[in-house]
Amino acid sequence: MPDVTLTTLQALKQKGEKIAMLTCYDATFARASCQAGVDVLLIGDSLGMVLQGHDSTLPVSVADMAYHTASVKRGNQGAMIVADLPFMAYATLEQTLHNAGLLMQAGAHMVKVEGAAWLAESIARLAERGVPVCAHMGLTPQAVNILGGYKVQGRQQAQARQMVADAIALEQAGAALLLLECVPSELAGEISRAVKVPVIGIGAGPQTDGQVLVLHDMLGLSLSGRVPKFVKNFMQGQSSIQDALAAYVKAVKDVSFPAAEHGFSA
C-alpha cells in the first residue's frame, strides 16, 4: 500500500470513502493499527488522560508529545501521522512555529490545534512554512475550563452558524483537515459539505468524511469508568486486539459506525 498523504485523504473525500483515524501513542499499536488499515494515526494529547492518568489534557507537554510521536513513527507502516500541539504550546506565533517544528522533526506529518477562527493566523503561517494543520473544533478539551465541562457544542442556532463560518475561515487560512468533536450530527454534515478539506468526526455522527476514536475507548478500557455516548467498544465479539482494530476500520469504511445512538441532536 502506498503511504497515506494529504492527496490520499482528499481523494477519499472526493470518492465518498470514509477515513479511519485512531489515536496511537506507541510503536506496537502503530504497527497493529497500520496492519488493520487505519489511514491516520493521531498522537492525541488524550495521552495525558489514558497514559498518564491526569483528569484533563492540560498537563501534557511538548516533550511528552514529541516522545510519543517518535515512538509511533518507529512502528508506522504508511499511515499519516498527526500530532497534537498541547495546551499553551501555540499561545503565541513564535511558540506555535517552534513547537510545531519539534513535532514535525519527531515524525509528524501534520499538527493539530484546538480552537476556532482565532487560529487562522497561526494556521496560515504554519502552512506557508510547510506544516499541514488539522483544526480541531466543537468540543475542544484544552478549553474544558472555559466550556464548563465536556459538553456538546453547536446546539444553539447562533453557535452553529458561527461554527460553519469558522470552519470555512480556517479552510481559507490553509487548514488541511478539520476535526469536529461532540457536535450535532446534522451540523457536522453541513460543515463537511461546506468545505473541500476532509472533516473527521468524534461524536459528530455519520456524515463527516471520517471518524476518530481514542484507542483505549474503542478497546473497552476506561480509567474513570465514564464512557462517552459516542464510544463503541470494538473488543466485543472479537478474540484479539488486532481483530478489534480491523473491526473498527471496517465499521468506519462501511459506515456502520457511528450508529444513530452514538450521535447528538441539536
Site residues (vs ligand KIV, CB under 6 A):
23, 42, 44-46, 84, 136, 179, 181, 202, 212, 214
Count of C-beta atoms within a 10 Å radius of residue 67: 16
Q: Is 171 annotated as a binding residue?
A: no
Q: Is 84 annotated as a binding residue?
A: yes
Q: Is 45 annotated as a binding residue?
A: yes
Q: How far is the CB of 129 from ligand KIV (least distance, A)?
A: 23
Q: Quick one: 136 or 253, whose CB is closer to ligand KIV?
A: 136
Question: Is 186 designated active site?
Answer: no
Q: Is 112 annotated as a binding residue?
A: yes
Of 83, 79, 114, 90, the residue nearest 9 (C-alpha)? 79
Using CA atoms, how far apart are residues 149 and 147, in angstroms rounded to an integer?
6
Q: Is 3 annotated as a binding residue?
A: no
Q: Is the dihedral of CA 202, 192, 57, 159 positive or negative?
A: negative
Q: Quick one: 23 or 96, whose CB is closer to ligand KIV?
A: 23
Q: How far is the CB of 179 from ligand KIV (least distance, A)?
A: 6
Q: Quick one: 157 or 185, whose CB is closer to ligand KIV?
A: 185
Q: How far is the CB of 141 from ligand KIV (least distance, A)?
A: 7
Q: How far is the CB of 44 from ligand KIV (least distance, A)?
A: 2
Comparing every residue's Cβ against ligand KIV, the nearest one is 44
At residue 191, φ and ψ (nearest 5 deg) are -65, -40
Q: Quick one: 145 or 239, whose CB is closer to ligand KIV?
A: 145
Selecting among 181, 186, 190, 261, the annotated active-site residue is 181
Return binding residues: 45-46, 84, 112, 114
* Catalytic machinery residues: 181
Return binding residues for Mg(2+): 45, 84, 114
